[in-house]
Chains A and B, each alone.
Chain A
Amino acid sequence: MSHHLPSCVTRRLWLLPAIGVAALAAAVWQPHSPEAIALGLRHAGPSLVHPLGTDHLGRDLLSRLMVGGARTALVVALVSASWVAIGTFMGLAAAALRGPFSAALLRVAEFFAVLPSLLAAIVVTSIIGLGPVSAGLALGLAGWGPFALLTYGLARRGLTEPYVLAARALGGSSPSLLRRHVWPAMWETQLSYLGTKLGRVAIAYAALAFLGLGADTARADWGAMMYEYRLFALDHPLLIIAPGTALMALCVALRVAIGGDNGERVPATSGDLASAVARAVEVQDVKGYSHAHGAGAGMAGADRPAI
């Protein structure tokens, strides 16, 4: 299933570096200091000096949005890095090893699939304080389980492919088989999985900041802004619309960059199957990944973030 999937999925990977560069630029330069309070300028409307206006303390809304965006992007980057690193390593190791070692790795991965990662992040960030690094590491370290189980399922399936068996017969060792023959056929599915999840990671971080446990409220996080500005939603709707729209735009951009494109619908190999399959995999699915990873995959809904 996995390897014939992505042919028709439109991916715009070039968007990823674009998002990264934009986030870096936003972190380095803002038109005004995001923390500069100017009580004389409270709730100023959009103007040339303040393109999105100012908030209830006279802080420049655009500058705060830019900082918040950079912080959110850092969280997303940290989470994807830890999922890919830990998940791929554990998944491939479990697939290459046999017997009790493999089983032990899978139990650990299942545990991190069952652990509700948003709750884990709430607990951890309320201990050490909420920032992009702590939240990114907490969400990343608590949520790699489903990614590892997906990797394991794909690798186990890959190892039984005829061409891989042939390579093994020629004397290839498990690690080299995985690297040269199995992984090249599965990374696109891994990427699709990430594509369906990264937007939710951004939302989870916003939810953490919105809940505000351990948060430094002076910091311009989108979630914290939505919490802080909700009181002014009626009189100054831009204050609440701007961070919400920014968050949605980032999620959509991430999704378009690496996720399956919802727009494609060729009946023969319909494009949105990428997301459906990635989802079904997470759910231990219809198509047989379940045999590879058993009960654990069924518990993988845990990483669903904030409702």
Chain B
Amino acid sequence: MGWMAREVGRALLLLWLASLAAFAVIRAMPADPAVITLLAFNLPVSDASVAALHHQWGLDRPLHEQYLRWLGDFLGGDWRRSFRTGEPILTEFGARLPVSLTIGLGGLGLAILLAVPLAEAAARRPHGWADHALDALTLGAQAVPAFWIASVLIWIFAVEFAWLRPLAGPTVERMILPIVIVALTGVGPLAAVYRAGMNEVGRSHYYQVALGKGGDPPTTLVRHGRRYAAMGLAAALTAEASWVIGGTAVVEVVFGLPGISHFLVESLAARDYFVVQAYLMVAVAWMVAVALTAQIVRHLLDPRERSRPNRSA
């Protein structure tokens, strides 16, 4: 169990570093949130009113004291209130996180559902249509910006054929296109890893033996390659899952969805210190949690991991 304690320790260290970075970066922003807030409410910007807001938000204290107090409050579940909306940040995040998670995880799930059959079809017939489609999707994921796809899809579905109301309908209806876009960008990379696993099995001795027993090549490949390829897919999923929070920012903004990344973009303009800090903490915590889970799962599944006594560093 020593290794698990060490991994958790490393995760906590990363989170602490993130809290420092979040605090430092946001304080380095030049504009003053108090001035922005006063202007937003059409209140006179005087030294006295700015000082009063600073005092109310605790910004008049020394920086180290501000940081320690904020960290203490944050860990205790008091994430402070937003300067902009006046609501408790924890409540805001609670309402918005499901939207972001639905888009991110829904897109990821859809991507897996599409990637596995596509990759198997590609592995069955090298140079077949599925193989080429997969290449195109992989390249497309790296070359086509999501907001461009979003514009095209909005145009097709909302304007030309009016099948959906992606900007004005109920939230569920508005989330369909974003999920499809997230899935489209994930399919290529996931399927490519799966196919690479299949191809590797195609070069293995046990596959040759299975063929020697009289199997039909494509079917045998898929039957014997599935498990091995799934291992690679699981590893690739870790990377894809780690950006579920934060990776959907542009889609949320384009579709005007009330997710947490959209909230961040709005809050940045208002220099909403505690929102930005909380957001970065949530994003990093999510990634660390995904990586940690993957680490533990792999450790439990793969005996080779356990027999390796001293992992470097």
Contacts and interface: CB of A to CB of B under 8 A. Distances in A.
Given A262-B138, A280-B235, A295 B146 contact: no
A207 B250 contact: yes
B52 interface: no
Interface string A197-208: 001100100110
Interface in A214-248: 223, 226, 230, 233-234, 240, 244, 247-248
Contact of A298 (B30, B238, B312): B238
A210 interface: yes
Nearest to B261: A119
A6 interface: no
Find the residue from A196, A273, A302 having the highest chain B CB count within 10 A: A302
B192 A276 contact: yes
Contacts, number: 230
Given A279-B192, A280-B236, A299-B242, A233 B151 contact: yes
25 contacts: A107-B17, A111-B18, A114-B284, A126-B29, A126-B269, A127-B28, A199-B142, A207-B147, A210-B147, A226-B147, A226-B148, A230-B151, A240-B151, A268-B203, A276-B192, A279-B189, A279-B239, A292-B312, A294-B10, A295-B295, A296-B291, A298-B295, A299-B291, A307-B182, A307-B243
B283 interface: yes
Nearest to B254: A210
By size class, the interface of chain A is 35 or more
5 shortest A-B CB distances, which residue pairs? A301-B239, A251-B143, A276-B196, A298-B291, A301-B242
Main secondary structure of the interface of B (DSSP, over half): helix
Contact of A127 (B13, B30, B126, B312): B30
Contacts of A196: 142
A228 B12 CA distance: 43
B159 interface: yes
A171 interface: no
A307 B251 contact: yes
Interface of B: 7, 10-11, 13-14, 17-18, 21, 25-26, 28-30, 107, 126-127, 131, 135, 138-139, 142-148, 151, 155, 159, 181-182, 185, 189, 192-193, 195-197, 199, 202-203, 231-232, 235-236, 238-243, 246-251, 253, 264-265, 268-269, 276, 279-280, 283-284, 287-288, 290-292, 294-295, 298, 308, 311-313
Given A210-B250, A252-B143, A304 B243 contact: yes
Find the residue from B17, B138, B143 having the highest chain A CB count within 10 A: B143
A123 B25 contact: yes
A19 interface: no
Interface of A: 94, 102-103, 106-107, 110-111, 114-116, 118-120, 122-124, 126-127, 156, 196, 199-200, 203, 206-207, 210-211, 213, 223, 226, 230, 233-234, 240, 244, 247-248, 251-252, 255, 262-263, 265, 267-268, 270, 272-273, 275-277, 279-280, 282-286, 290-296, 298-302, 304, 306-307
